[in-house]
Amino acid sequence: MTFEQRLAQNATAVDGWLDIRLSDAEVSAPHLWRAMRYASLGAGKRLRPFLLIETATMFGVAHVAALPAAGALECIHCYSLVHDDLPAMDDDDLRRGKPTVHKAYDEATAILAGDALLTLAFEILSAEEVHEDTAIRLELVQALAKACGADGMAGGQMLDLAAETIPASLDDIRLIQSLKTGCLIKHACHAGAILGRASDEQTACLLAYAEKLGLAFQIADDLLDHESSPDAIGKATQKDANAGKATFVSLLGADEARTLAQLQVEQAIDALSDFGAEADMLRAAAEFAIMREK
Amino acid sequence: MTFEQRLAQNATAVDGWLDIRLSDAEVSAPHLWRAMRYASLGAGKRLRPFLLIETATMFGVAHVAALPAAGALECIHCYSLVHDDLPAMDDDDLRRGKPTVHKAYDEATAILAGDALLTLAFEILSAEEVHEDTAIRLELVQALAKACGADGMAGGQMLDLAAETIPASLDDIRLIQSLKTGCLIKHACHAGAILGRASDEQTACLLAYAEKLGLAFQIADDLLDHESSPDAIGKATQKDANAGKATFVSLLGADEARTLAQLQVEQAIDALSDFGAEADMLRAAAEFAIMREK
């Protein structure tokens, strides 16, 4: 199976799992559940769930057994998109090719749908289907909370907003990336390693891989933003440049940014040298990070 | 020790615990941590932590051992206040006698501070200091996520916002209260029962107590809103009445609402009849719910 096929297969499986988990059949506030479904089902590469599942399966975890943890992770990613798109934040109207949640519903519903998706992730992780061992589930809860909290993703978004008014250096941009998008990508591999009971050494290699991958992914995002169109990538482009906000591309130029991204991909693949063919999907994911068209 | 003294003592202990936990000494985004501190330290009755601590101590849990779980619960309560106060939600400028977070900072910071406090609650609960037994910690995570998620507090806030445009009946108001404020008050006693390894029967009594207490508390809130002033209670008053929004007071009248609240207090105390003097603080809390002046 090619990487693209496996990515699509995993995305379908995660979507199917979320579709059932987010059923709004017997709920008190169906409007809120509809907004949560709108925010999380449908398009989306599902890269983070992919990384979680593929990391876990390296250690013999069944694909289906990794789905709940992958679904929880995607809930967090989707909540962050909903809140980041709000008028008070990045003020985006388009996401994954359709109106953002506050456009399709309203701001209050978008705030609450984000809150509820964030909360749901922890409810999912606490359930027995995630793993029979309570210590493993608790480790997943802790790792996820750290990855997406004030010293992780939320802190990164805060710094990113500040960078709209204070000129940012390459070091600043690097820190923002490592928190805002890096932490959750790293968590995807970390969670897979936790589920698979990977050794400390194996986990360290996977985290090194994910760190490089995350940076490559962000630089590729900046390049897409610089060179693509809203029609092609399903969200607004060149917003940062128009706002005079620093990115890897604005600070380094497109060519040097591309070289830096390529270097990260090579280092990501190098970090997996202790693993055999079981890590091929992760290697392919690193190549994909900079080859993708959206 | 009187009830008021114990309430103040617990509030000071929770505040002290949060002050240390929310230390912003070595963080990536200090601005965000400052907003989180602003949102959660200082004034506040700390009723939910009080209920958690006093329930846990009924079963021999040391006061200090219940503080982390109580702190996590207060993080959730504070996050909900920050988000509910946003312009897109209840649009409040004053909270606990000082400007709301989006007034003191800005909307983006308020959204992120709320998100980060919500996330922090789960990080806190996953840590060993909460309880040595991983199954207990996981039970707390699950109970909290359910209490504050889409079928709990967040769902209640969604219904409450909808009630601004669609006339609400007494049943509607009752449902909104049970979700928006009831779930978290109930969770406080539930979490104390989990920490104390209460039996199923004991837990059921405590949940029945908390349900009655929550309703009494909400009716008292509506009465305070109706009869008090912003100076006295530290937040805007009569907003619901001015917006033509139904409350227990608008639907029942002040006298009947007061009678209903008194009945809830009596039933709350009745629910504790299997317990002896160890439940006296909870009994006093039920009396306090309708006697308080803010």
- Segment A77-102, tens digit of pLDDT: 999 999 999 999 999 999 888 999 99
A91 touches chain B (CB under 8 A): no
Residue B108 has its nearest CB partner, among A29, A79, A89, at A89
Q: Tokens standing for A175?
A: 């820190």
Neighbours of A189 (CB within 10 A): 29
- Region B202-225 average pLDDT: 95
pLDDT band at B3 (very low <50, low <70, confident <90, very high): very high
Say if strands B94-95 and B98-99 run parallel, antiparallel, or are unpaired. Answer: antiparallel
**For A206-209, which contacts have Cβ atoms below 8 Å and span 24 or more sequence positions?**
A206/A55, A206/A271, A206/A272, A206/A282, A208/A268, A208/A271, A209/A268, A209/A269, A209/A271, A209/A272, A209/A282, A209/A286
Residue B118 has its nearest CB partner, among A89, A115, A179, at A115
Over 90: is that where the pLDDT of A245 sits?
no
pLDDT band at A244 (very low <50, low <70, confident <90, very high): confident
pLDDT band at B269 (very low <50, low <70, confident <90, very high): very high
| pLDDT value of residue A158 | 96
Cross-chain residue pair A150–B33, CB shorter than 8 Å? yes
Residue with tokens 């002290």: B16
| pLDDT value of residue A25 | 72
- Region B9-38 average pLDDT: 93
- Region B5-10 average pLDDT: 95
pLDDT band at B233 (very low <50, low <70, confident <90, very high): low
| pLDDT value of residue A282 | 98
pLDDT band at B48 (very low <50, low <70, confident <90, very high): very high
Rounded CA separation B41/B36 (Å): 8
A134 touches chain B (CB under 8 A): yes
Residue A149 has its nearest CB partner, among B107, B116, B134, at B116
Residue with tokens 């946003």: B86
Over 90: is that where the pLDDT of B156 sits?
yes
| pLDDT value of residue B213 | 97
Residue A135 has its nearest CB partner, among B79, B134, B154, at B134
| pLDDT value of residue A26 | 81
Span B169-206, pLDDT tens digits: 999 999 999 999 999 999 999 999 999 999 999 999 99
Span A32-82, pLDDT tens digits: 999 999 999 987 889 999 999 999 999 999 999 999 999 999 999 999 999
Average pLDDT of the residues of chain A? 94
Rounded CA separation A90/A83 (Å): 9
Cβ(B69)–Cβ(B140) below 8 Å: yes
Region of poorest pLDDT, from A178-182, A208-212, B23-27, B123-127: B23-27
Average pLDDT of the residues of chain B? 94
Query: Residues 10..29 of A with a Cβ closer than 8 Å to B: which?
Result: 27-29
Rounded CA separation A200/A94 (Å): 41
Over 70: is that where the pLDDT of B229 sits?
yes
Over 90: is that where the pLDDT of A265 sits?
yes
| pLDDT value of residue B130 | 97
B145 touches chain A (CB under 8 A): yes
Chain B's closest residue to A83, CA to CA, is B111
Sign of the alpha-carbon dihedral angle for B116, B121, B124, B126: negative
| Residue-range domain boundaries for chain A | 3-291
**Percentage of residues in chain B having pLDDT higher than 90:** 83
Q: What 3-state DSSP class applies to B180?
A: helix
Cross-chain residue pair B138–A141, CB shorter than 8 Å? yes
Contacts of residue A144 in chain B, CB cutoff 8 Å? 122
Contacts of residue A137 in chain B, CB cutoff 8 Å? 138
Over 90: is that where the pLDDT of B17 sits?
yes
- Of residues B165 and B32, the one with the higher pLDDT is B32
Closest CA to A116 of B153, B165, B186: B153
| pLDDT value of residue A233 | 65
Which of B84, B112, B129, B164 best tests the A interface by mutation, with the highest count of A CBs <10 A? B112
Over 80: is that where the pLDDT of B111 sits?
yes
**Percentage of residues in chain A having pLDDT higher than 90:** 83
Rounded CA separation A292/B14 (Å): 49
Q: Where are the alpha helices (DSSP H) in A239-279?
A: 239-242, 248-252, 254-270
Q: State the pTM of this model.
A: 0.96
Rounded CA separation B201/B271 (Å): 11
Over 80: is that where the pLDDT of B231 sits?
no
pLDDT band at B239 (very low <50, low <70, confident <90, very high): confident
Q: What ipTM score was computed for the predicted complex, to two decimals?
A: 0.95
Q: Is domain B3-291 in CATH 1.10.600.10, yes or no?
A: yes
| pLDDT value of residue B40 | 95
Q: What are phi and psi of A95, to 5 degrees?
A: -150, 130
